[in-house]
Amino acid sequence: MVAQSGLADGREGARLRPLGRLCGGALVAIVLVATAAPSGAAAGERTQRFALEIAVLSGRSGRLLSGGLTPAQRGRVQAKIRSALGVLPLLARDCLEEQRRADERPLLARLQRLAADYSHGRMHALAKGLEGLSRRYPVDMQGLLPLPGSSRAARAGRTLYDQRCMGCHAYPDARSPAPAPNLFVMAHAFSDAQLVVSLLTGIRGTRSTTLVNPLNRQDIADLAAYLKHKGALGP
């Protein structure tokens, strides 16, 4: 698999900086996959699932390090990091199986080290380890980045948001232990790559859509474009 950097753009780097240096480093590691998976479309799916989980985890560890979270937000991010570290070995096995690699020990050992780093509070080591892993397992950004700049995309994104997201995200349940975040605030704080990754993983389907993200790549790109550039659309 040939990977090439999709975020070489200097503006992206400039936007990352306020989020914290480590966070930025982790994001630069989210790169474009230039070629299709070698053995058919389905072959890449489990590897992509693993790559996405690493990218999300990388973003979360960056957020913990960059500070600025309320104690409640911090607790939620920590809980998500713990649970992600718990499922990573399963996703890794799936990914290796898909790539037909016989020896799973090196990767599993690497994940164990990450879990140990986290449980011993070595957050910088965790962030660095995740950065390395996401270079090795890049998220496929084809069709997602760069975000579409057209007003068609932003309008399509607005329709999607109004019909399918707003009900929960504009009126979060304040008593919930995990309230729905304001997606515009999130879009503002995140880089384009980070936003797309969180839309790819943050949206779950329902029982009828088998808990798979119900949106296709075009929908995700449109939504991200709308969330980022809402102001440009006017009232």
Among 122, 168, 184, 230, binds ligand HEC (CB under 6 A): 168
Residue count, binding to ligand HEC (CB under 6 A): 15
Q: Does residue 134 touch ligand HEC according to CB under 6 A?
A: no
Name which of 27 and 165 has its Cβ closer to ligand HEC.
165
Contact 149, 225 (CB under 8 A): yes
Residue closest to 217 by CA, chosen among 206, 228, 203? 203
Provide the minimum distance between the beta carbon of 167 and ligand HEC in the complex, in angstroms, as a whole number: 5
How large is the C-alpha radius of gyration of the chain?
18
Q: Give CA–CA dist 192/178, Å, rounded.
A: 24
Q: Does residue 132 touch ligand HEC according to CB under 6 A?
A: no
Is the C-alpha dihedral spanning 209, 195, 39, 36 positive or negative? positive
Among 110, 169, 217, 230, binds ligand HEC (CB under 6 A): 169
Provide the minimum distance between the beta carbon of 141 and ligand HEC in the complex, in angstroms, as a whole number: 16
Among 167, 188, 205, 216, binds ligand HEC (CB under 6 A): 167
Question: Of how many residues is the chain composed?
Answer: 235
Q: Give CA–CA dist 117/115, Å, rounded.
A: 5
Provide the minimum distance between the beta carbon of 165 and ligand HEC in the complex, in angstroms, as a whole number: 3
- For residue 150, the tally of other CB atoms under 10 A from its CB is 10
Among 94, 202, 217, 230, binds ligand HEC (CB under 6 A): 202
Amino acid making up residue 72: A
Among 3, 43, 65, 203, binds ligand HEC (CB under 6 A): 203
Cα-based distances in Å from 99 to 34, 50, 58, 96, 212: 18, 12, 23, 5, 22
Site string for ligand HEC, 146-165 (x = CB under 6 A): --------------x---xx
Q: Give CA–CA dist 92/131, Å, rounded.
A: 16
Site string for ligand HEC, 214-233 (x = CB under 6 A): ---------x----------
Q: Does residue 178 touch ligand HEC according to CB under 6 A?
A: yes
Q: Which residues bind ligand HEC (CB under 6 A)?
A: 160, 164-165, 167-169, 178, 180-181, 183, 198-199, 202-203, 223
